[in-house]
Chain A
Amino acid sequence: MKKLTQKMEFKPFCVLVAIILICGVISGGDFFKITIVEGHFYGRLIDILRNGSRYAILAAGMTMALGTGGTDISVGSVMAIAGAIACSIVDGRILGGLNGNVFVAVLIALLAGALCGAWNGFMIAKLKVQPMVATMILLTAGRGIAQLIADGKIVTITSEAYYNISGGYILGLPVPMFIAVGVVILFLLLTRSTAFGIQVEAIGVNPGSSRLAGIKVERNLWIIYILCGITAALAGLIESAGIKGADCNNCGLMIEMDGILAVAIGGTSLAGGRFSIISSVIGALIVQTISTTIYAFGVAPELTRVAKAVIVIVVCLIQSQAFLTQVKKIRIGKAGKKEAPAV
């Protein structure tokens, strides 16, 4: 039992259960209602799983980038690029020779994501630019590139196969969920069954000494940012399939904050070092649950962004050792004052 509570995944999991329970009580049980229509499950919880899978996929990639002490804020733009490419190919606007083959379109979009990631990797690993600045270049330029690919329009498509990426069902459960589970299992295998995970943590703690210890820092950074790009592209595909088109202006807009938020709530240190992909996935589900409930309760969406920013700041402060000692000092000070008259 003690072993269980000490796990990194324990705290966020409790928070998730608590939030879901609170939502369930407030909504008077509507929240838990799952109905079966034509063999598919419907309900709030299923919605959270469907929409949250986007965040979960993103968070899985982002966790590793943050684990090395870096970051990737270009994910939103990479999503837009992937969506624009896939939709344009399916639509037949570019590469008409493929006749809108969905499978090839998805493959090329993922490849583009990997390419974006490789670019980030090149800037960060080879040129030693701060990850923040390097990915910010793609953050602003990427959306422009997506616009140029889509020719400044919102590309709408009519392909049943493409819709299924977001709206389809397998065994009555939404497809994105299976994609997310697949990605997470792959990442877990990579980080827990190979030395890669420990190497990432080592780089996060101290890149210099990791290099001296014989870890190939550069190569690992390349791999991490390429993986980040691929996960972002995957999330972009799900999003564009969800709205049945590519909206380069709004696809994944400001989603980098949600990604970082999910990772931070999961308990991964934003300064690098210890990380857990499962925690981040749980964090992603927490973010999605908060968003879904806020919308369901009719709170203005503008406030969501403010709330999320506040949560990130609070989580950062809790992670900060200096802040905790300061709070402790104040507490002890107060307690000391209270005890003083008694003595």
Chain B
Amino acid sequence: MKTRKSLKIENISLIIACILFVCMFIAGSAVYDHFGSAATFLNLFNDNAYLIVVAVGITFVLLTGGIDISVSSVVAFTCVFSAYLLEKGWSAVIVIPLVLAVGLFNGFLIGYCVQEYRIQPFIITLASQFLLRGMCAVVSTISIPIDNAFYKEAALNKISFKFGRTNAKLYIYVFLALCIVFLAYYILKYTRFGRTVYAIGSNELSAGYMGLNVKWVKIGVYMISSFCAALGGIIFSFYTLAGYSLQNMGMELDAISSAVIGGTLLTGGVGNVLGSVVGVLIQGVIQTIVTYQNLNAWWTRVTIAALLCLFIILQRFISIRADKQKGKG
């Protein structure tokens, strides 16, 4: 009985998120024609594959109790830089590992500054956000189209499913995103690294006393987050086939709110990546409804922010209740 209650914190939030998703989808289907179909559902994955990858990456950082707001700039920089290099005639085989390495290196620098120099994560990632956003503009201020055979191949290859009369499709890069999700799930659940992430999030000091390698795991989570952002950037460039220096402004909020809606506590230690995926899907539904309703695109942002507030408040109440129960026990 007692263990069930303490486990509930992440589950309540996740269950609410799942119910919310199903309700919104059903509500959308009831109100609009052509909404309730497998095509719409699969399009949620097609349109948000990059966000899924980024949200999974940021979940690692949030689980340690840190924060990374540089992800949107990493995504933008990856797109712009790879578009620029491809335009110069570089091969995709070189460009993709190169931009992934840039992401990893950025994550390493952030992690090192946070861990070794004790700079607060938000300030160093804010600086990194501006640095990379500025670098985007230095590379190019105008949108660069991508005209590379491999990128086009990756962008257009899809698998079609037949559901009755409707035709639904899933692009190849969605599978890449799903692979990342399952890999991340496995790492968090079954490896020493993953368990250390949770231990640091619960109590960094005691994790250190237990002899866990706090230093490298903390640097590691920032590297994972930044790497996932770079990978998300590549998927995004498959999706748009262009690189523009002002794209994905404010995407860090989308990624963080996905994780929070999916049950990750901002104080760290609680949550998992599957919840983050559900969070992304909820945002996808909101976006679809806003598009169907033909509203100003800013409504999406306002709704997501409101939803994030709601879930943060919910988390507060749940954790206050959990604390009280602990006190009783």
Contacts and interface: CB of A to CB of B under 8 A. Distances in A.
B127 A306 contact: no
What does DSSP make chain B's interface, helix, strand, loop or mixed? Answer: helix
A152 B296 contact: yes
B116 interface: yes
A225 B269 CA distance: 28
Interface stretch (A53-61, A98-106, A158-166, A313-321): A313-321
Interface stretch (B167-175, B181-189, B200-208, B299-307): B299-307
Nearest to A319: B119
Chain A, interface size: which category?
35 or more
Nearest to A311: B127
* Interface core residue of A132, A140, A310 (most chain B CB under 10 Å): A140
Contacts of A326: 116
A309 B128 contact: yes
A129 interface: yes
A130 B67 contact: yes
Nearest to A308: B130
Interface stretch (B3-11, B224-232, B249-257): B249-257
Contact of A306 (B122, B135, B313): B135
Contact of A260 (B126, B133, B301): B126
B294 to A, nearest CB: 13
Interface residues of B, number: 40
What does DSSP make chain A's interface, helix, strand, loop or mixed? Answer: helix
A132 B120 CA distance: 11
A143 B141 contact: no
Nearest to B122: A132
Contacts of B94: none
A321 B119 CA distance: 10
Given A306-B131, A320-B118, A144 B301 contact: yes
B117 A309 contact: no
A271 B117 contact: no
Contacts of B124: 313, 316
B253 A137 contact: yes
Contact of A147 (B116, B298, B308, B313): B298
A322 B116 contact: yes
B316 interface: yes
A326 B120 CA distance: 18
Interface string B234-265: 00000000000000001011001000000000
B113 A316 contact: yes
B322 to A, nearest CB: 14
Nearest to B116: A322
A326 B117 CA distance: 9
Contacts of B79: none
Contacts of A316: 113, 117, 119, 123-124, 127
19 contacts: A71-B123, A73-B126, A127-B312, A127-B313, A129-B266, A144-B302, A148-B298, A257-B130, A260-B126, A271-B118, A303-B134, A306-B130, A306-B134, A309-B130, A310-B131, A312-B123, A316-B123, A316-B127, A322-B116
Interface of A: 71, 73, 123, 127-130, 132-133, 136-141, 143-145, 147-148, 152, 254, 256-257, 260, 270-271, 300, 302-306, 308-310, 312-313, 316-317, 320-323, 326
